[in-house]
Structure 1
Amino acid sequence: MEIRHFRYFLAVARHRNFTRAAEQLDIAPPTLSRQIQDMERALGTRLFIRRQRDVSLTEAGTALLAEAEATVRQFEFAQRNAQRAGRGEIGHIELGYVASAVYSGVLQRQVQAFCAEFADVSLSVRESPMALLPGLVAEGRYDIGYIRSPMTLPDGVEALRLGSEGFVLALPQGSWLLGLKAITCEHLQNETFILPEQISGTLQVAAQGGYAPRLGPQPGGLVAVIALVSLGQGVAVVPESVVGHVSLPGVQYRNIQGSDASSWLSLIYRRFEKAPAVARYIQHVKHNPTL
């Protein structure tokens, strides 16, 4: 038997009439009658008591009714789920991000907007070291990632540019620079720079000041960077979104006058992504890059 046999059986059981059931199914009554007879032969028992004007279920038909309804329901559910999965409306996404994606609010806005539209797609969201994240996306450990650009990406990984932002200077409480009305790139020539994961801001500021920067440690995430600043180990050029989100004792933030150094967040993903849910997320961000 096939799923259509169960549908035919249910139509006759509901209408208690072959003609009305055939009309609902859009088939000829003799065709429907033959299909039910085929079903009865396959089961080795009668399902209906046939009368001149209507039919009624036999005991075997009554026993089959609930199971047939459940079978058709489950089949339709599986069919709908397969179709939804193919459209990217259900599935799972592994997402990695760097801390500044959270400080800027980009990660929250884009994930929440996607989940509001595609509530049946589950996301596993984890912070990851930026140096490792592109490789993890290329290897399939993550499906997508939020990084701070510019940075070199592996073959097969592409980046979608999102909003850009400038940099600020994180200073220890006792720094002489805090006594200046305005801090320029040139004032930082003799400072030791604590390096965040994305060092482009540090290099841009030094280039604008006309010197090679004195490079200090690169401890990892932005909180670790600012922690070293609070300990008096140096200064740090960090994304301006950090201000108001990472506040540690002994640290103050200042603008760098005359500097146009900037960076931007990017969504990275595999160029030929085949998973429908992941492709759906990428398209959602492409259509809403400024969220």
Structure 2
Amino acid sequence: MELRHLRYFVAVADERNFTRAAARLGIGQPPLSQQIRDLERELGVTLFLRRPQGAELTPAGIVFLSEARSVLETAQRARMNAVLAQQGQIGRLRLGYASSVALHPLVSDTIRRFRRLWPDVVLQIDEGNSRELIGRLHEDRADAVFIRPGPADPHETRLLRLSGEPMRAVLPAGHPLVRGADSRDSIPLALLAKEPFVLFERAVGLSLFDAILSACREAGFEPTVVQEAPQISSVVNLVAAGLGVSVVPESITQLHLAGVVYRPIRPPAPLASLGLAAAAGKSSVIVDNLFGLMERESRAGALPPS
């Protein structure tokens, strides 16, 4: 039994006439009658009573009609879904992001834009550090991830590098560099040379850690790290507790925590890298759509308001 047999049967059942059904299907009446006889022979039942004025469904035909319609509807839905899946209109996107990029407007705007353009794609979003996220890509536990990439591209990874994000100093509210200063005033990084630093663990934010360390060295000092934090958001909490100063990506300044003040760093200020990564060589239209969206928006310079 093939789908065409079901289509032929449904047409005859709808028309109650072999001649009209044949015209509707665009085939001859004798071949249609033969196809229905073949179907009845295969099923071992009589589907129609042939009358001079047309065709009448038997009790077996009435039951079979309901099932035939259901099968045809399922087949049509499967065909349509296959086309949509090939276009990336439906499916699943397992998206990860490093904790330090969670507040970056480009990341949140891109996710919002993606959901609007492809509303039927199911988004599964998870957080981790950049090293963990790259591992998830290669273990097929993530499809695409926003990370803080280092100078070299991760092995066997497709990487779209985005514009670097300026970094800012974060100081306790009572710090001498804060008192009487305008929040827009930039400070030389060298002024923090003798300050205790609070930083996240290098394994958590490899590229950020190295960028901060390199900037401090270029400013003529080696930072004294007195406290490590498990993630970048914890850094701000520890600075608020008075444990030291730190340097964080500009987007982190959206954390309006009592007891801390953010200051721009006078050039040359360190930059926090940002990139979108996926496993190299893995074909996914949904991931391609995400990368295409990011490429268009990064060329435009910024995502316009949604």
Q: Is TM-score (shorter-chain normalized) higher than 0.5?
A: yes
In the TM superposition, what is the alpha-carbon distance from 1:207 to its structure 2 partner?
Answer: 3.8
CA contact (8 A) 2:233 2:252 kept: no
1:210 to 185, 205, 220: 220
Give the stretch that moved more between structures: 104-113 or 67-76.
104-113
Q: Give the corresponding residue for 1:270.
A: 279
After TM superposition, the structure 1 = structure 2 runs for residues 1-291 of structure 1, keeping only pairs within 5 Å, are: 1-150=1-150, 152-179=152-179, 181=181, 183-196=187-200, 197=205, 198-243=208-253, 245-289=254-298, 290-291=302-303
Q: 1:150 to 1:216 in 2, by over 3 A?
A: farther
Q: Distance in 2 between matches of 1:255 and 1:117?
A: 36
In the TM superposition, what is the alpha-carbon distance from 1:255 to its structure 2 partner?
Answer: 1.4
Q: SS of the counterpart of 1:119?
A: coil
CA contact (8 A) 1:150 1:263 kept: no
Could you tell me the TM-score, scaled by structure 2's length? 0.85
Give the stretch that moved more between structures: 233-242 or 73-82.
73-82
Aligned-residue sequence identity (percent) comes to 35
CA contact (8 A) 1:195 1:217 kept: yes
Q: SS of the counterpart of 1:149?
A: coil
Structure 1 residue ranges (4+ consecutive) displaced by more than 6 angstroms after TM superposition: none
Q: 1:157 to 1:218 in 2, by over 3 A?
A: farther
Give the stretch that moved more between structures: 174-183 or 23-32.
174-183
Gaps of 5+ in 2: none
In the TM superposition, what is the alpha-carbon distance from 1:153 to its structure 2 partner?
Answer: 4.7
CA contact (8 A) 1:88 1:277 kept: yes
Q: 1:75 to 1:6 in 2, by over 3 A?
A: same
CA contact (8 A) 1:170 1:238 kept: yes
Q: Distance in 2 between matches of 1:131 and 1:232?
A: 29
Q: 1:95 to 1:27 in 2, by over 3 A?
A: same
Q: Distance in 2 between matches of 1:192 and 1:131?
A: 27
In the TM superposition, what is the alpha-carbon distance from 1:204 to its structure 2 partner?
Answer: 4.3
Q: Distance in 2 between matches of 1:41 and 1:249?
A: 82
Q: Distance in 2 between matches of 1:176 and 1:130?
A: 35
The amino acid that maps onto 2:187 is I
Q: Distance in 1 between matches of 2:95 and 2:145?
A: 6
Q: SS of the counterpart of 1:177?
A: coil
The amino acid that maps onto 1:233 is L
Q: 1:285 to 1:183 in 2, by over 3 A?
A: closer
Q: 1:288 to 1:29 in 2, by over 3 A?
A: farther
Q: Distance in 1 between matches of 2:8 and 2:134?
A: 54
Q: Distance in 1 between matches of 2:193 and 2:262?
A: 18
Q: Distance in 1 between matches of 2:151 and 2:231?
A: 16
Deviations 1:74-129 (A, max 9, x none): 12222222332333222222221123322122232212222222222212111112
Q: Distance in 2 between matches of 1:223 and 1:260?
A: 20
Could you tell me the TM-score, scaled by structure 1's length? 0.89
Q: Distance in 2 between matches of 1:60 and 1:153?
A: 65
CA contact (8 A) 2:18 2:33 kept: yes
Q: 1:81 to 1:36 in 2, by over 3 A?
A: same
Size of the aligned set, in residue pairs, is: 290
In the TM superposition, what is the alpha-carbon distance from 1:70 to its structure 2 partner?
Answer: 0.8
CA contact (8 A) 1:138 1:154 kept: no
